[in-house]
Amino acid sequence: MMKEKLEQIKAEALRQIEASDALEKLNEIKVNYLGKKGELTAVLKSMKDVAPEDRPKVGQLVNETREEIEKVLEASVKKMERAVREAKLKTEVIDVTLPSKKNKMGHRHPNTIALEEVERIFIGMGYEVVEGPDVEKDYYNFEALNIPADHPAKDEQDTFYITGDILLRTQTSSTQVHEMEKGKLPIRMIAPGRVFRSDEVDATHSPSFHQIEGLVIDKHITFADLKGTLAEFAKELFGEDTKVKFRPHHFPFTEPSAEMDVTCFKCGGKGCRFCKGEGWIEILGCGMVHPHVLEMSGIDPEQYTGFAFGVGLERIALLKYEIDDMRLLYENDIRFLKQF
Ligand code: DAH
């Protein structure tokens, strides 16, 4: 009786195992037959109905049945696990011979490279690098720099006004005033930054570009200091053989004022296509700080003198890297930028 029942249970269990196509199903079979509430346990529980002398025999039969089911079940689980793993491996093949994905690294902009070069040169001469605000009061951009109210630069056609009194600075010269107002002397500073003018975009103009301002104020500063400093700057930037030339000019905040040219670093001054046959290239504006400008910012012009200069950063970048269209600097085309 018991033996038959056990045979039946075993046959049914093995049939189900055979028919299983998933690990979950095998687990279910395990619970159903071997678990605490499983069929074999139920048989053990009914042992009390078996005659005591038959009990060891029946017990042994139950154990044998259990072991056999366990054995087949375990083998099935292993087989199925292997199959699952193999299927997974097949879908996850990695072709180690494929070329790797390259990380695209960013690149410093030609403006940044040129600025760092200029900063390096002036830091080497003991200058401090400072910054001023892009949005300025009229006073800092014009008035304190001796630029009269009727000056053409103040026209709305040239300057972006935010209100009647607040504007986007048109020149980094405004930082001169901020530095002088701090009241700490002597001053040896350069101030790089963005400036804004109401210009149409073309090969040489942009409504936003960059300048680097320079200011030195101390006792006994003369035009000779200006010349020596800027000649040294030109040599370091464009090469040891570079010569400089100063042409008289006018800026309201300097007196006397000049524009500085450098010998063309392509032809050495002979004249070529690059310098349009001139041999010289205009590079910056400069001059001795006007006594009235010193006075307005609280510096005694009887005791202190100084020189200032302003140079266009894009101009330097374009010259140094021989780029002939300023627009290229702003288009952010990586194919262009990564050449420098
Ligand atoms: N701010 C002038 C400009 O934008 C450049 C300049 C000229 C700056 C002479 C100076 C200077 O400091 O002394 O054209």
Digit-coded pLDDT (tens) for 41-81:
888 788 888 888 888 888 888 888 889 999 999 999 999 99
Query: If you average pLDDT over every residue of the chain, what do you get?
Result: 93
Top mutation candidate among 169, 171, 313 for ligand 1, by most atoms within 8 Å of CB: 171
Q: What is the pLDDT of residue 159?
A: 95
Q: What is the pLDDT of residue 36?
A: 86
Longest dimension (CA), the chain: 130
Rounded to an integer, what distance in angstroms lies between the CA atom of residue 17 and that of residue 108?
67
Q: What is the pLDDT of residue 155?
A: 87
Name the residue at shortest CA distance from atom 2 of ligand 1.
Answer: 310
Ligand 1 neighbour 141 (Cβ under 6 A): no
Q: What CATH number matches the domain at 110-337, 3.40.50.720, 3.40.50.11710, 3.30.930.10, 3.30.450.40?
A: 3.30.930.10
Contacts of 68 (CB under 8 A, 6+ apart): 10
Ligand 1 neighbour 136 (Cβ under 6 A): no
* CA 309 to ligand 1 centroid distance, Å: 6
Ligand 1 neighbour 171 (Cβ under 6 A): yes
Q: What is the pLDDT of residue 219?
A: 98
Q: Where are the domains of the chain?
A: 2-91, 110-337
Q: What is the pLDDT of residue 62?
A: 86
Ligand 1 neighbour 307 (Cβ under 6 A): no
Q: What is the pLDDT of residue 280?
A: 96
Q: What is the pLDDT of residue 46?
A: 83
Q: What is the pLDDT of residue 249?
A: 97
Name the residue at shortest CA distance from atom 4 of ligand 1.
Answer: 171
* CA 254 to ligand 1 centroid distance, Å: 9
Ligand 1 neighbour 312 (Cβ under 6 A): no
Rounded to an integer, what distance in angstroms lies between the CA atom of residue 237 and that of residue 231?
10
The H helix count followed by the E strand count for the chain is 11, 9
Residue-by-residue DSSP string for 214-280: EEEEETT--HHHHHHHHHHHHHHHH-TT--EEEEEEEETTEEEEEEEEEE-TTTTTS--TTTTT-SE
* Atom number in ligand 1 closest to CA 311: 5
Digit-coded pLDDT (tens) for 256-297:
999 999 999 889 899 998 888 999 999 999 999 999 999 999
Ligand 1 neighbour 309 (Cβ under 6 A): yes
Query: Is the peptide bond prior to 56 cis by the omega test (within 30 degrees of 0)?
Result: no
Name the residue at shortest CA distance from atom 5 of ligand 1.
Answer: 310
* CA 285 to ligand 1 centroid distance, Å: 5
Q: What is the pLDDT of residue 212?
A: 98
Q: Tell how strand 166-168 and strand 280-289 pair up.
A: unpaired
Residue stretches of the chain with pLDDT short of 70: none
Q: What is the pLDDT of residue 234?
A: 97
